[in-house]
Structure 1
Amino acid sequence: MLSYKEHILIRGYGAVSALGHNQTTLADSFQKAEPAFQVRAFNGAETAVGALQPAADELLARLAHEKKAYQSLDRTVLLAMYVSRQAVKQAGWEQQKDIAVNIGSSRGATGLFEKYVQEFQQTGVVPVQTSPVTTLGNISSWVAQDLGSSGATLSHSVTCSTGIQAIANAFAWLKAGMATRFLAGAAEAPLTPFTIAQMKAIGIYSTTTGHYPCRPLNSEKQNTFVLGEGAAVFALEKVADHQVHQAALPAAVLESVGFGFEAITSKTGISRDGANFKQAVQEAIEKSGNTEPVDLVIMHAPGTVAGDSAEWQALVSLFGKETMPAVTSTKWLTGHTYGASACLSLAYALQVLQEQRVPAFPYPTRFSGGKAPSHIKRILITAAGFGGNAAALLVRKI
């Protein structure tokens, strides 16, 4: 917990997903509250995915052709570079060099890795650049190269909790005075045949290609997991108490982060009572030192029967059914973007704090939270991944 005179301020952010490629287009999609799924053929089967829109693809193509070196980078790296530029611009950091970078990814350079494995299987050799452009550290280092920053560069993968873990690193580094400015977030580009096949093999992928292929908390008790791509990065600084209210939009502070872990009881590491979720949320709430109520929970809720139920049980055990905050999930709009999902949830939270509106689930749900207050101030965001890990963060409107 920080001193009451210090806060971790969100100076700016960048985001891209199936919903849009910048804050303006994302805000438009937020207002419409319409999902943005596409249907593509993977391994001979029509499959719903949360792919980027053509406008975003064009912007990434332009970025890739800015320099010869960029043309050999994976889509995941380009996504991270693209949203990092947005975050730095909004924060007013264009002339700053002392920026630390931690951008994680669950899968890393997915497209290039699979491409080079196929080439090796066919020819027995790989291109010279294979190792440097597929290593996980490739993401943060290229962002730093693109921005010309001289701060520390960190990369990691903690499955679907990766994004919150990156923000937690930034939180700790800023609190300890080890950095003055920090870019933290995650990027994911997993829409490849092999990765799609992995999720279908688990038996959780949505079998429908209708308007709402991904339906977290759905009343039918069906697995409706849908994979998506995207990235979100946040420009974070530690500021004194008197500086907080001078901040421009997005005008929000990170209150705390929490973590949970449990022994694996299944191939996906989910227990029925969501012990890891409970531990992470409880820790985030306690470390915030704030006794004000949580107004909204943006759940991890990937649209799987077991995962959604486990998380819900954890929330009930903490808040109680009668005093449950309002709940929502971004995945019915974008699909599950693996390590980037919680960061896109944070971007969504900033939209909610600005617009003071929470779009309702457009389909019947088996669980329902309370009604969001007229003034939404505190939002809890959760994430969990394979291996038994979970994470949570609290963000507050200034």
Structure 2
Amino acid sequence: MEKRRVVITGMGTVNPLGHNTADSWQAVREGVCGIAPITQYDSSAQKVHLAAEVKDWDPTVYIDKREVRHMARYTQFAMASAKEAMADSGLDLSAENLERCAVIVSSGIGGISTTESEQTRCLQRGFDKASPFYIPTSIANMAAGQIAIAFGFKGMCTCPVTACAGGSNAVGDAFRHIRDGYADMALCGGAEAAVTPLSIGGFTSMRALHVGDDPSRASIPFDGERDGFVMGEGAGILLLEEYEHAVARGAKIYAEVVGYGATCDAYHITAPAPGGEGGARAMAQAIQDAGITADQVDYVNAHGTSTPLNDSGETAAIKTVFGDHAYKMAVSSTKSMTGHMLGAAGAVEAIFTALALKDGYLPATINYKTPDPACDLDYVPNEGRSADIHYALSNSLGFGGHNACVLLKKWEG
């Protein structure tokens, strides 16, 4: 069967840099750091005091007050982002076959803040006093479910739970689902809200998080002084659409999705395989899937978490896939600005990658200072720059050895 083309026709995001796509992308272009002291709870008794929180969040601006009460924070982010993506797309739902419309939205941890607060409440009142809304509010698939309900999308509705790779898996799975003829469009992406005492404590105990108090030296991907990631939160939702369908309705197109690679390290529960072997295979798969050569890729939005093993391993993986071309293309990590949004990261970064192609602009890896011999590529240090780019890869590498890479092409229609 002939593979169908798939394009991005709508985008929405809530993240540490802004409550919509335009504000967030402007902040990226300005090199804004979204990291600050934690405000959602008193972190003074813990080692980690910094996070990349969504600032000044009032869900009732985007969602009816009655519905907000039955949505965990991560679902609120997802719903606001989905509403923006749908409005951005200009789609007329009354003219669509909603059975051909899918929803694929990831979350790594789901409503963990709801679980923590409910546990505390039940320890005081008894567990049979748990809220009847606790389970349907906190489970990881509910952002996808709520989005499907809101827009009446009756095609496949699912939630990839693949840790830090989830957002990219959602976009890639949606791409394949449309390309192979199972749907005409899909709302896809990821959402996360894990700035909580238990989440922060758990990641701290495994020595994954940065424990300092200077935001400018906290999330520093590829820097020789990096020592852990910064927890972020937010959501990114994209509307993917079959090309002919988009053209027929006169939709604006941001970029084309042309390749997807998904692999597993099958190596360790947290550490990446030596040399980033699994990530390299995922990148190579995405390039092969698109039918292009590695030297046609101009930019990689790296997973770039600011942990010692990830950044050196990802750099090695890029060299494996691209050879000498690795030193000629740009590689940057927008996590230097947003922190690590776990299951939402790949989706938000797919949005930034699409806009990088559209605007011909390479986002910076901000706050870069100390070179690392193991990380010796062009990381677009500190200052973003204009560039004529045609193909860009967005990488996501997750705990459990999950690797997902999405390849986008500049829209020149």
Q: Same fold (TM over 0.5)?
A: yes
Deviations 1:315-364, CA, capped at 9 Å, x for gaps: 11111256432100111101000011111111111221233222433322
**Count of matched residue positions in the alignment of Structure 1 and Structure 2:** 389
Deviates more, 1:277-286 or 1:167-176: 167-176
Further displaced range: 125-134 or 384-393? 125-134
Superimposed CA distance per residue, residues 266-325 of structure 1 (whole angstroms, 9 cap, x where no aligned partner): x41312211110110111111110236110011101110011111111111111256432
CA distance in 1, matches of 2:185, 2:137: 26
Q: Percent identity?
A: 25
What corresponds to 2:74 in structure 1? 76
2:182 corresponds to 1:169: no
1:369: how far off? 2.5
Cα contact 1:85–1:147 (8 A) shared by 2: no
After the TM superposition, which of the residue ranges 354-363 and 82-91 deviates more from structure 2?
A: 354-363
1:15-34 correspondence runs (5 A): 15-34=13-32
In 2: Cα distance, 1:62 partner to 1:152 partner: 29
**Does residue 12 of the first structure (1) align with residue 10 of the second (2)?**
yes
**In structure 1, how many angstroms separate the alpha carbons of the residues matched to 2:140 and 2:16?**
24
Give unmatched runs, 5+ long, in structure 1: none
The answer as to 2:218 corresponding to 1:216 is no
Work out whether residues 136 and 156 of structure 1, in 8 Å CA contact, stay in contact via their aligned partners in 2: no
**Aligned partners of 1:94, 1:240: CA distance in 2, in Å?**
16
Give the aligned CA root-mean-square deviation in angstroms.
2.3
C-alpha separation in 2, matches of 1:230 and 1:254: 23
Is the Cα–Cα contact under 8 Å of residues 13 and 90 in structure 1 kept in the other structure?
A: yes
**CA separation in 2, counterparts of 1:82 and 1:229?**
14
Residue of structure 1 equivalent to 2:309: 306
Please tell me the residue identity of whatever aligns with 1:326. A
Classify 1:235/1:294 alpha carbon distance in 2 versus 1 (closer, same or farther; 3 Å).
same
Q: Could you tell me which amino acid in structure 2 is paired with residue 170 of structure 1?
A: A
Residue 34 (structure 2) aligns with: 36
Shift in Å, 1:2: 6.3
Partner residue of 2:84? Answer: 86
CA distance in 2, matches of 1:210, 1:148: 45
Q: 38-47 or 201-210, which moves further after superposition?
A: 38-47
Residue of structure 2 aligned with 1:201, choices 169, 189, 205: 205
More deviation, 346-355/186-195: 346-355
The Cα offsets for residues 61-81 of structure 1, whole Å up to 9 and x where unpaired, read as 3345x1524312101111111
Q: Give the equivalent residue in structure 2 for 1:328.
A: 332
Select 1:353's aligned residue among 350, 357, 362.
357
Task: Verify: 1:391 aligned to 2:389, yes or no.
Answer: no
Whether the 8 Å CA contact 1:185–1:231 is kept in 2: the answer is yes
The answer as to 2:348 corresponding to 1:344 is: yes
Q: Is the 8 A contact 2:82 2:187 kept in 1?
A: yes
Letter in 2 for 1:177: G
Check the 8 A contact 2:221/2:368 in 1, yes or no.
no
1:380 positional shift: 0.5
Q: CA deviation at 1:120?
A: 2.4
Q: 1:88, 1:94 within 8 Å by CA — same for their partners in 2?
A: no
Amino acid at match of 1:146: A
SS at match of 1:273: helix
**How far apart in 2 are the matches of 1:262 and 1:162?**
15
Give me the TM-score of the superposition, normalised by structure 2.
0.88
DSSP-derived class of the 1:225 partner? coil
1:137-148 equivalence runs, <5 A: 137-148=141-152
1:155 to 2:141 alignment: no
| 1:21 Cα deviation after fit | 0.9
- Residues in 1 aligned to 2:2 and 2:68: alpha-carbon distance in whole angstroms: 39
**Any conservation in 2 of the 1:160–1:383 contact (CA below 8 Å)?**
yes
Task: Note the alpha carbon deviations across 1:21-44, whole angstroms, 9 max, x for none.
Answer: 112211321221121111024262
Separation in 1, partners of 2:135, 2:314: 38
CA distance in 2, matches of 1:122, 1:94: 49
Query: Which residue of the partner structure matches residue 379 of structure 1?
Result: 392
Q: Give me the whole-angstrom Cα distance separating, in 2, the residues matched to 1:373 and 1:86.
A: 27
Q: Write out aligned runs for 1:170-189 (5 A).
A: 170-189=174-193
Q: What secondary structure, in the 3-state scheme, does the structure 2 residue paired with 1:120 have?
A: helix
Q: Which moved more, 1:33-42 or 1:157-166?
A: 33-42
SS in 2 for 1:42: coil
Q: Is the 8 A contact 1:52 1:229 kept in 2?
A: yes
Deviates most, 371-380 or 107-116: 371-380
The CA distance in 1 between the partners of 2:402 and 2:354, in whole Å, is 25
Distance 2:29 2:92 in 1: 30
Q: Separation in 2 of the partners of 1:92 and 1:247?
A: 7
With the length of structure 1 as denominator, give the TM-score of the two structures.
Answer: 0.91
Find the aligned partners of 1:373 and 1:310 in 2 and give their Cα distance: 27
- CA positional deviation for 1:373: 8.1
1:261–1:279 contact (8 Å) kept in structure 2: no
- Which segment drifts farther, 338-347 or 66-75? 66-75
Aligned to 2:16, what secondary structure does the other structure show? Answer: coil
* 8 Å CA contact retained: 1:19, 1:26: yes
Rounded to whole Å, the distance in 1 between the matches of 2:315 and 2:37 is 30
CA distance 1:303–1:323, change in 2 (3 Å): closer
Separation in structure 2 between the aligned mates of residue 241 and residue 128 of structure 1, nearest angstrom: 42
